[in-house]
Amino acid sequence: AQSVTQLDSQVPVFEEAPVELRCNYSSSVSVYLFWYVQYPNQGLQLLLKYLSGSTLVKGINGFEAEFNKSQTSFHLRKPSVHISDTAEYFCAVTGNTPLVFGKGTRLSVIA
């Protein structure tokens, strides 16, 4: 079985500052890892994914994440955030099973 831990429930950050949203996973099999974003009153949108290959994955809206197998982490980063990045971010994992989500991190960008 897989599980995901998102270490921060809320992250406030000033506009144009860098941000890192942390995610650790647990799995006994090889996994695929994802970050999804949810804007208020909307569904989830895929931000980026790690399936195989390069451990540094680039996604939409300037986000990137690094897969670290030894630390079982998949932290999400952005060098400079915008107000429009304010949303809930979910880390998710699958190992040939339905997607398992973390509890989410609410990113609040402050002007």
Partner 1 sequence: NAGVMQNPRHLVRRRGQEARLRCSPMKGHSHVYWYRQLPEEGLKFMVYLQKENIIDESGMPKERFSAEFPKEGPSILRIQQVVRGDSAAYFCASSPPEKRNTGELFFGEGSRLTVL
Question: Cα–Cα distance between 103 and 19 in angstroms, integer?
Answer: 18
Coil, helix or strand for 49? strand
Nearer residue to partner 1 within complex by CB, 19 or 47: 47
Q: Does 65 bind partner 1 (CB under 8 A)?
A: no
Q: Does 76 bind partner 1 (CB under 8 A)?
A: no
Q: Does 42 bind partner 1 (CB under 8 A)?
A: yes
> Which residues, numbered 79-108, are part of the site for partner 1 (CB under 8 A)?
90, 92-94, 96-104
Coil, helix or strand for 9? coil
Binding positions for partner 1, rule: CB under 8 A = 4, 6, 9, 32, 34, 36, 41-46, 49, 51, 90, 92-94, 96-104
